[in-house]
Structure 1
Amino acid sequence: MALADLGDVQLNYEIDGDPSGAPVVFAHALGTNLAIWDKVVAALPEGLRLIRYDLRGHGQSSVPEGAYSMGMMVRDAERLMGFLEVKDACFVGISLGGMIAQGLAVKRLDLVRALVLSNTAAKIATPEIWRRRMETIEAKGISAISAETIERWFPRAFRTSPEALRWKEVLEGTSQTGYLGACAAIAGTDFYTPTASLRLPTMGIGGWDDGSTPPDLVRETVDLIPGSQFALMRKTGHLPCIDQPQAYADLLSVFLRETGHLV
């Protein structure tokens, strides 16, 4: 485990691949951790510096108290890249990680040369929906929402697999403070106007059976960025990097080559 001490938060991170390769930074979804990228990273071509990290309140990163803001989570990514001396990266964000990706690109375009916005949106659900979820968790714990979350995350045929059950355990084992803090960050975020100002190579990825960010919502977000492209993955849900890692890695590889990030 490697920890980046950023003062108010300590972020766990892992680096794979070529230390001198073009950097690719991965940000995970709410209620998961950096391991959602394990099989994707293993399937990517050589010649890349692959950086994954646990968001604040998740995985092996520290759990600051209080509600988090999207600004905090964007700043975490910004400071981690500074700590690792990374710039001109392709930033791959899924769900919450995709919102962080949008905010980082708006704030620090010098750090991000290409974006992958996977199973995400400029605005996800409504503050009222997030308020009700947070109230349920505060009253009954994360286990009270885990079954419905798994239904949104994975297609029906995958939900009873050992892998899906493992991720249900990860979700239920996530710090309640960290989960609620991240919920508050998502609830308070509307990136429609900032994201529409972006001008950089962007690929959106949607899952056909995604119950959290349906494909049309992902497409609507990436269409805000001129010249962007969109890929629809069938027979998958909100986390295709878990149940279809090879297909996901293939999409990333093509995009990295098209943008000149991978020779």
Structure 2
Amino acid sequence: MPVVHLAAGDLNYQLEGPADAPVLLLSNSLGTDLGMWDTQMPAFTEHFRVLRYDTRGHGQSQVSAGFYSIEQLGRDVLALLDHLDIRQASFCGLSMGGLIGQWLGINAGARLDKLVLCNTAAKIANDEVWNSRIDSVLRGGQQAMRDLRDASIARWFTPAFAAAEAEQANRITAMLAATSAQGYAGNCAAVRDADFRQQLAAIELPTLIVCGAADPVTTPADGRFLQQHIAGAQLLELHAAHLSNVEAGAVFTRAVVDFLRQ
């Protein structure tokens, strides 16, 4: 896979779809990699030049030292766009990817066409949650990541989906077990420190907010907060837990394509 060489390390990416189509950039959730979007790719590449990447510390991208920030991850996106000479793109990010999308919408809106914020919040959880998780994975290393995989199924998917689509659920949660403990901890710190509750009004892009009715991590109330504070934002609530693009794949994909092609 191609990589872009950044000052702080390499960023792994894939660029697929018609060369003359508008660009859609996909940003993964905490503990996954660009493969989390596989369900969407056949439909997305019919209409868009799809750019997806492994966020710093994930997948095949560089695990740089220390804790990260959402600003740093957002600037990685801008560097990737610059490397590929892409002036403007629509952006779709889920959970942590949605935080990156908020930062971009607030600070680099001119580089974006439309914004899709999925299963995310202006502020996700509290410091105690993230500090405990950071301590756990830094102490336990990859065994702690495997333990997180086992615990994540109930957060990421409804029980009905996890039972009926066990192979798909296992494919996604295996990404978490394979994520570097150091990279995961660095990104946990980025999510912990992100708080855009007072800045959302600066987003002036056409925005679609997607939430899962059964999401225990970023709830429908979080989605409604985003909608209320981003002028003109649309809200879609799906029957899903945290990874709505996987659990409600067909409905999610159709809604995003329809929104981006309006």
- When normalised by structure 2's length, the TM-score is 0.94
2: CA distance between counterparts of 1:157 and 1:61? 33
When structure 1 is superposed on structure 2, of 181-190 and 164-173 the one drifting more is 164-173
Contact kept, 8 Å, 1:44 with 1:250, in 2: the verdict is no
- Give me the identity figure in percent: 35
Greater helix share, structure number: 2
2: CA distance between counterparts of 1:167 and 1:44? 19
Give the Å deviation of 1:9: 1.9
Q: SS of 2:50's equivalent? A: strand
Look up the match of 2:47.
47
Look up the match of 1:261.
none
Q: Which amino acid in 2 is paired with 1:86?
A: I
2: CA distance between counterparts of 1:36 and 1:169? 11
Alignment of 1:13-52 (within 5 A): 13-44=13-44, 46-52=46-52
Alignment of 1:37-76 (within 5 A): 37-44=37-44, 46-76=46-76
* Matching residue within 203, 213, 217 for 2:208: 203
Q: Which amino acid in 1 is paired with 2:251?
A: A
Look up the match of 2:158.
155
1: CA distance between counterparts of 2:45 and 2:251? 13
* Matching residue within 165, 168, 181 for 2:170: 165
Look up the match of 1:9.
9
Q: Which amino acid in 2 is paired with 1:251?
A: A
CA offset digits 1:176-201 (Å, max 9, x no partner): 01000000001111011222221110
Give the Å deviation of 1:48: 1.3
Give the Å deviation of 1:243: 2.3
Look up the match of 1:225.
230
2: CA distance between counterparts of 1:96 and 1:113? 20
Q: Which amino acid in 2 is paired with 1:189?
A: A
Q: Name stretches of at least 5 consecutive residues in structure 1 with no aligned partner.
A: 259-263
- When normalised by structure 1's length, the TM-score is 0.94
Structure 1 runs of 4+ with >6 Å offset: none
1: CA distance between counterparts of 2:216 and 2:99? 17
Q: Which amino acid in 2 is paired with 1:142?
A: M
Contact kept, 8 Å, 2:210 with 2:236, in 1: the verdict is yes
Give the Å deviation of 1:37: 0.8
2: CA distance between counterparts of 1:59 and 1:100? 17
Look up the match of 1:94.
94
Look up the match of 2:194.
189
